[in-house]
Structure 1
Amino acid sequence: MAVAVLPPTVRPLQPPKGSDIDFGAQIEGVDLENLTDEQFTTIRNALYNYHVVVLKNQHKLSPKAQYELTKRFDPASDNYGHGKTIDAKRSILHPDLKTIPHQPQVQVIGNGFVPSYEGLENIQLKHPHHRTFHKDHIPNEQDYDFTRFYRWHIDAALYDLYPPQVTTLLAVAVPKGRRQTLLYDDGTGETMDVPLGTTAFVSGQRMYDLLSEEDKEFVRTSKMEYAPHPYIWMSPAHSRSTGLGLHSEGLELPSSELPPIDEKKIMVFPMVWKNPVTGKLALQVHPSAVRRIHCADGTVIDDLERVRDIVYKLQRPAISPQYVYPHDWEEGDLVLFNNRGVIHSVVGAFKPDEVRIFRQCNLAASEPPMGP
């Protein structure tokens, strides 16, 4: 006699005190190694309703099952979301990722020396640090007490490949015991108390809802053009202290110093993306990779500094502390996030002996994002 499989339970996350986040949920009662269609439907609906979904105690989740879960959101997808950009030595993504040999769509990220993991031997993981990317940085002697948002982004190649539907992140090893004070350092005086190495999320839906009616009309009717080979193009440039886009110092690489550019592979997307389940709108822009804005009347805003300033003013209100969800990682946490409905940032400064191991999977989508 078959044993009935109970449906998973979905419950919204309790926001931290003083927080105004309106997204996030936890799911219980799922065996991801033996996922039924009905259970997956529950997970998918939770993802598009809550944007960030947490499944605890996934210590035994195999890279294969993680890949299969990720692919289930877009069965026609199969390539790692950043394509071959991780192979380009000049890409800013290159140092941060190690590919699992037997499951190449899954990457290992983290910090510290790992003797052996999933077919990788003697690997040195390096957690991104804001001093390598920001124009100015926190003094070294304050490094372990204070931190910043490293880079707010969408997981996407933004050249040739469509942005993934979902990213899955599994915490394998998590250093314990320290917290840090996150500094915005932009003159606002805003700070946050955050867990060491948190991943910070903000809702693109909230980002859109916070706009004035005039700005909503602008983003609904405009499109964003991204730079070709953006992670190589931006490699000499410097981030703002909030991690939200770049300073305009003329440091970006000219086309002559980039890999060959196919004009057909340059990505132009709506600034606002429609949720496939709820129909709600989210302002979804990768602020570091922006190049031009195509307006409704056919004009193109081509001045890079102006483009960045426009995007910053549109996005900055939504990264204020009350709207940020900083996930407090525990070993065995699997977090799925709606990569077309949130932007996120790496956070934290680790000591060399603080070993952190995470597995990341996202797949370049088979279709472009839906506009409003």
Structure 2
Amino acid sequence: MAIEVLPLPIPPTADPEKLKDFGREVKGVNPGALSPEEFKEVHDLLYKHGALLFRNVDLTPEQQYALTKAFDPASESYGHGNKKTEGEKKSILHPDLKTIPRVPQVQLIGNGTVYNHEGLAEAMLKHPSHTTFHKTRVSAEDEEKGYTRYYRWHIDAALYDLSPPKVTTLYGVTVPQGPHQTVRYDDGTGDELEVPLGTTAFVSGKTMFDILPPELKSVAVRTKVKYAPHPYVWMAPARALPTGLGILSEGLEMSYDELPPWEESRIKVLPMVWKNPVTGDLHFQVHPCGVSELLIDPLPEGTKREGALYPDGARLADLKEVRELLYKMQRPAIAPNLVYPHDWHEKDLVLFHNRGVLHTVVGAFKKDQVRAFHQCNLAASDDPAGPSAEDPGDDASEEPFMSQYLHYSVHNIVGFECHGQL
């Protein structure tokens, strides 16, 4: 049976034009036993569309690990390091993950208590909630009415020592059903989004980059992002914005002296924009909660500077300034009409391009609502690539990328990589 590919059902709140290329449902193949030819097709579909859905799949943890590893055969350990997250009590990730003993690359996540599950006699799971991470929270009365928030927009990555995984696989084992909830942004915009209970929400990093105004695109392709050492420990005392897109600057982060032992050479410094290896598209891929500095290269010599931001380059180390700039760049892409909230059913398998999308846990469950998912992502064998010389080209007629820079004459951007600035 040939592979059949269908668009994902996007909600009526979404902009169909902006989401027309995002996500596909795949039928006609068993993702746990793909032939080499089938895998190649699935591989390319994932990089082209950001997320793939397989419905009604029977998938063992061993098969899930093998499928995830196939996207990066040299990868081996879980994306945060096997056992490291569970063993680091101070990390904000500690309560959320339980390792499946016989396949330590696969984690059990969810809500409630699960018994006799894949070698775990008893596992107490906790669905992450904005109530424990945001500075403010939806009132208990409003929660009863079905209001909630995004938890934390992020990329699956340790962001220290290990390279960000290329692909994450999520498999719904036990999926409780219930009334839809309404996400409130609570940022003064009045933005809201109706979502299925316990949805995973996705936004496209490509769209996040594409919709930037020219002056911010210029900054994005010139910037490297420096993350804090052990960022999930570092950020644990701090509190997030109500949109789940970054942290308030209140000086609550753990001091570097208090962190577990760390080395400067293991700190991650990554491009702000990551290049898709199949399509060549550029994706704005930043985990805003873990960022400590932004390192901006100057405009190339001879470039018109009028209207450009940071034409001489900059090192932004003030957390408030760093976060305000990132928020300005990322917030437009989480607008309700650009979000795909997946409606989970049991035996759904979702693959997503972890280097091309941002995602977040959403909503809240009651204690007696048992939910069990298997999650797998693997620390990659290399770091993501940023923009390269061929992306903008040297001809101002090249569309659509080059046209965004005409009023800066940034055709000289091709010199970035050659001059060691990317």
TM-score under structure 1 length normalisation: 0.97
The one-letter amino acid of 2:110's match is: G
SS of structure 1 residue aligned to 2:288: coil
1:158 aligned residue = 159
Q: Is the 8 A contact 1:7 1:39 kept in 2?
A: no
Structure scoring higher RCO (CA < 8 A, sep ≥ 6) equals 1
What is the percent sequence identity of the aligned residues? Answer: 57
User: Distance between the aligned counterparts of 1:119 and 1:194, measured in 2?
Assistant: 33
The one-letter amino acid of 2:31's match is: L
User: Distance between the aligned counterparts of 1:168 and 1:186, measured in 2?
Assistant: 31
How far does residue 113 in structure 1 lie from its aligned partner after superposition? 1.1
2:68 aligned residue = 70
Q: 1:8 aligns with which of 3, 9, 29?
A: 3
2:80 aligned residue = 82
Residue correspondences, number: 366
SS of structure 1 residue aligned to 2:9: coil
2:124 aligned residue = 124
User: Distance between the aligned counterparts of 1:268 and 1:160, measured in 2?
Assistant: 10
Cα displacement string for residues 94-128 of structure 1 (whole angstroms, at most 9, x for unaligned residues): 00000000100000000011122100112111000
- Map 1:1-372 onto structure 2 (within 5 A): 6-20=1-15, 21-22=19-20, 23-58=22-57, 60-83=58-81, 84-144=84-144, 145-297=146-298, 299-372=314-387
User: Distance between the aligned counterparts of 1:211 and 1:260, measured in 2?
Assistant: 38
Q: Is the 8 A contact 2:13 2:336 kept in 1?
A: no
Q: Is the 8 A contact 2:234 2:253 kept in 1?
A: yes
The one-letter amino acid of 2:72's match is: D
User: Distance between the aligned counterparts of 1:14 and 1:349, measured in 2?
Assistant: 23
Cα displacement string for residues 246-297 of structure 1 (whole angstroms, at most 9, x for unaligned residues): 0000000011100111110000001000000000001000010011000103
The one-letter amino acid of 1:56's match is: R
The one-letter amino acid of 1:12's match is: P
How far does residue 140 in structure 1 lie from its aligned partner after superposition? 1.6
The one-letter amino acid of 2:166's match is: Q
User: Distance between the aligned counterparts of 1:367 and 1:262, measured in 2?
Assistant: 19
SS of structure 2 residue aligned to 1:288: helix
User: Distance between the aligned counterparts of 2:61 and 2:383, measured in 1?
Assistant: 26
SS of structure 1 residue aligned to 2:14: coil
- Structure 1: give runs of 5+ residues left out of the alignment: 1-5
Q: Which moved more, 1:332-341 or 1:23-32?
A: 23-32
How far does residue 210 in structure 1 lie from its aligned partner after superposition? 0.6
User: Distance between the aligned counterparts of 1:229 and 1:31, measured in 2?
Assistant: 38
How far does residue 14 in structure 1 lie from its aligned partner after superposition? 3.2
